[in-house]
Each structure stands twice: as structure tokens, then as C-alpha cells.
Structure 1
Amino acid sequence: MLKDEDINLFRESIKGAKKLAQNTFVAPKKVNVKKKSEQREIREKSDTLFYFSDEYEPLLNEEDAVKYLREGEDTYLLKQLRRGDFSPELFLDLHGLTKEQAKLELASLIQACLDEHVYCASIMTGYGTYTLKRQIPRWLVQHPNVRALHRAPKEWGGDAAILVLIDS
């Protein structure tokens, strides 16, 4: 409880002050979570697409099985991929897609692997004209989160598929 002298002191100190009119209301800014997450997905996909150049020619021996190992990785990873020791958690089927569509889908797959902490994915390239079968490994080796890739063993698609190990 306040003493009378404290109340009087307060009243004297505010003497001459004008009362403020509090007649405006500023509503908090509405954040559209759906739109924000869509924009984030678009940005992440474009960031991932940045790595895929059609001009880059890696040193891949295309007569042998498709294989790649990032510098500094254990060579045993390739043997494990070849034997099918890794089970892919995500599958991407590129049958019937153009190169540009396949590039977008590949970027989405890598981003999904990173978002969901998926270690191994399978990419079905099919046979067709061999355009995608040749191009997919060239794109994948450019991405910094791809640790290794190898032609899939028979149970995961054989010659028509590629297994990819992703840093997650």
C-alpha cells in the first residue's frame, strides 16, 4: 500500500501532463506461413540447381559401371554400393522426363535427402536414348553433398538405376 506522501509526490511530478488519446490499434503483421515455406522451397531448389552445369565434363569412365567417389572418402563405400549394402530410402523415377525436368527433379531429390536426413537414394534413369543415363552422373558429381554414386545392384534397378550416397 502506498503512503499518502508518495501519492502526493507522484501527483505533483505529473502536474501539467496531458492525457494521451489511445484510440488507434495496430494489428500484428500476419505471416503467411504457407507462402513463406513455398518461397523457401523455391530458393533451396534454385540453390541446388546452381551446382548442375551441362558444360562440366568430369573424368568418368563411361564404358565401366557408372561410379564416383568424392575425394577424401573411403574407397570401401563404392564396394558397399556395388554390393547393395545400402538400402535407398528415397526413389526417383526419371522415365519420360526431359533433361530440364530431370535436372529439377534431381535438385528436389537432393534437397529432400538433406531435409529428411536420408543417406541413400536411388535414381531410375531407364535405358531409352541413354541421354539421362549419361547426364545424371555428370550432374551428381558436381554437387558438394554427393559422397559417392554407383550403378545400382540388380535388386535396386541394375543398369537402369544409380545409387547415390548423400551427406545428410
Structure 2
Amino acid sequence: MTKIISHEGLEDFQALVDGIRPLTQDKQHFGTPLKTKAELTEQAPQLAANHYFSDTFQPLLPVDGPMRWRAEHADNLVLKRLRRGDYVPDLILDVHGMRQTEAKLELAALIEAAIREQCQCVSVMHGYGTGVLKQQIPLWLAQHPKVLGFHQAPKEWGGDAALLVLIDLGDQPHRR
């Protein structure tokens, strides 16, 4: 069914649209906006925490004695040196009173800061409390590829309420 427009109707239409210009395209794209450098650096620890730290992964950790763990590729003397206090922590993180999600983000930020600042040894103070963070932090640390090992801290660095963590800095010079 086609309609036939009369010649007078076409002239009327021409009179109505006379002087109308086409709209200009303002070129607005409604895709995902690009993030600024500040936003990316702010989100880096959260992405690292989500990438490295799983709550379901269960590494083989000791059930007796002080909390300790060493990566397979790390030197055998790593744990002994940490236990004796040969390493002095350059950065200290205190997670007393934090929730698990907050502590996980802070732990990821600590490891990233240690790598950026060339700090080989850091201390994580989890405290006693209900024992949730004391149980979870070693599980998270054992998953991170840059952690060479950790050991319960000596008395001067917090005792059994803290861990000394040794970070792998790669081929860069180490400090002890």
C-alpha cells in the first residue's frame, strides 16, 4: 500500500522545512572513559590483592612451632636468618583491628611499596585478637610470587604477634 503525494503536498512540505540545517554531530562517545594515572595507581593494590590473594587456597604451613614458610626457589638459610633477626624490617604494617578485606588490600600495598622502595624485609603486625588475621596473613603471603619467605618475628619486632617477610627484589642489590 503506497501513498501518492500530490505536487501541492510536496510544495507544502518544502515550505515547512525551508531553512532547516542538519544537526552537527558532537562526537560524544559513551564507551568506558579512560582512567587517569592517579586512579590507576590508586586501584593497583586492590587489583594486586584480588589477583594474588585467594581465600580458598591452602598452602602447606606448619602446625607446630613458630609460623614460617619458604618459597621453593628460595635459599635454605632464609628461614634461619629471619628467625635469628639478621634482617631488619624497612617497612612495618600494623593491621590491628582491620577487617580481612582491608588487611588484604594493605598487605598487597605493602608488598608493592617494598618492591618500589627496594625494601627486602618488611614486618606485618597482626596482633592477637580473635586470631583471624593471624591465620589469614600467612595464607595470603604464601601465594604472592614476590615473597621469598616469612617467619614469626623475634621479640624486638613483635614476637608471635608479627611476621617478618622477605621480599624478592630480583637482580637488584640486597640489603641485610
TM-score, normalised to structure 2, is 0.73
Number of aligned residue pairs: give it. 134
Instruction: Give me the whole-angstrom Cα distance separating, in 2, the residues matched to 1:62 and 1:133.
Output: 13
Contact 1:48 1:111 in 2 (8 A): no
CA contact (8 A) 1:45 1:111 kept: no
Q: Is the 8 A contact 1:52 1:142 kept in 2?
A: yes
Give 1:152's aligned residue: 153
Q: 1:138 — aligned with what?
A: 139
Q: 2:160 aligns to what SS in structure 1?
A: helix
TM-score by length of 1: 0.76
Letter in 1 for 2:76: T
Query: Following the alignment from structure 1 to structure 2, what is the Cα–Cα distance between the partners of residues 42 and 150?
Result: 29
Greater mean deviation of Cα atoms: 72-81 or 121-130: 72-81
Q: Which amino acid aligns with 2:72?
A: E
* AA of the residue aligned to 2:156: E
Which structure 2 segments of 5+ residues have no match? 1-35, 170-176
- The 8 Å contact of residues 49 and 107 in structure 1, kept in 2 or not, is answered as no
**Equivalent runs, 1:30-45 vs 2, <5 Å:** 35-45=36-46
Tell me the equivalent position of 2:118: 117
Q: CA RMSD in A?
A: 1.2
Q: How far apart in 1 are the matches of 2:50 and 2:151? A: 21
Q: What pairs up with 1:2-151 in 2 under 5 angstroms? A: 35-151=36-152
Q: Alignment identity in percent?
A: 51
User: What is the distance in 2 between the residues matched to 1:122 and 1:96?
Assistant: 17
Aligned to 1:6: none
CA distance in 2, matches of 1:101, 1:62: 26
Structure 1 position 63, deviation (Å): 2.5
| 1:116 to 1:58, Cα distance in 2 relative to 1, 3 A | same
- Per-residue CA deviation, residues 112-158 of structure 1 (Å, 9 max, x unaligned), is 01111110000001001111001100000000000010000001100
Runs (4 or more) in structure 1 with deviation over 2 Å come to none
